[in-house]
Amino acid sequence: MIAVLIADDLPLQRLGFRMLLESQDDMTVVGEATGGSEAVRMTAELGPDVVLMDVRMPGLDGVEATRRIVASGGPGRVLILTTFDLDEYAFAGLRAGASGFLVKDAQPGDLLSGIRTVADGNAVVAPSLTRRLLDLYAHRFPVTGPDREPDPRLRSLTERERGVLLCIGQGYSNSEIAERLVLAESTVKTHVGRVLAKIGARDRVQAVIFAYDTGLVTPETR
């Protein structure tokens, strides 16, 4: 069973989510939080597999709640709910460590699929969409320059792994990376797994953000 915590300040929204999720044989709602602080506390107490997190809540918002949940080091993953797929909240949610985001008016099937995907340890949002989103807000990333100390995690990568990370950051799928680097797709999968482990990324979305953070990928990189 996938244990889900719903975090939303609107009672009708929470009720709708609960009814949908509990209609599934493989999901159960372990709790409902009405704000960010409560979501952080209940995540620590209940240990859900997935936190369905609204970003706009009074008091502690969903972005900061996501940051605290991820920083706690627990196994629970956060799925952000936002209004538009390329808005500032989606960007902030991914930067805070969310494993993906969905628009609030997503089809029920898309929401359920997203929860299952996150529970399996994968990212919901495609790397290509992450790339588009980060391009829009790249001016908020740390400034890179010759005087900035390179991230030691980047230095730990082999030349091949660095090339794979560059492709991930550019939004390419495994099959596209295999074609660009002239590798078998199974080999690419192995390299991707090693890259994620070395840089400490939970999924490909976080790997894309890491590539931007370290200056490996910029909006001009094509």
- CB distance 50 to 24 below 8 Å: no
- CB distance 84 to 77 below 8 Å: no
Fold agreement (2-125, 144-213): no
Which residue is listed with tokens 């929860």?
A: 115
- Domain 144-213 matching CATH 3.40.50.300: the answer reads no
Separation CA 28–CA 208 (nearest Å):
31
Q: Does the pTM exceed 0.75?
A: yes
Q: Which of 205, 206, 46, 13 is nearest to 124 (CA)?
A: 205
Rg of the chain on CA atoms, in Å: 18
pLDDT mean values, one per 10 residues, the chain (222 residues): 95 94 96 96 96 92 95 90 82 89 88 92 75 75 60 92 93 91 94 95 87 83 50
- The alpha carbon of residue 44 and the mean position of all alpha carbons in its chain are separated, in whole angstroms, by 19
The CATH architecture to which 2-125 belongs is 3-Layer(aba) Sandwich (3.40)
Q: What is the pLDDT of residue 75?
A: 86
Q: Which of 100, 96, 93 is nearest to 124 (CA)?
A: 100
Q: Which of 221, 213, 129, 115 is nearest to 173 (CA)?
A: 129
32 strand-pairing partners: 6
- CB distance 84 to 90 below 8 Å: yes
Q: What is the pLDDT of residue 142?
A: 60
Q: Report the b/e string of 126-144 with b at 16+ CB within 10 A.
A: ebebbbebbbebeeebeee
Q: Give the start-to-end residue ranges of the domains of the chain.
A: 2-125, 144-213
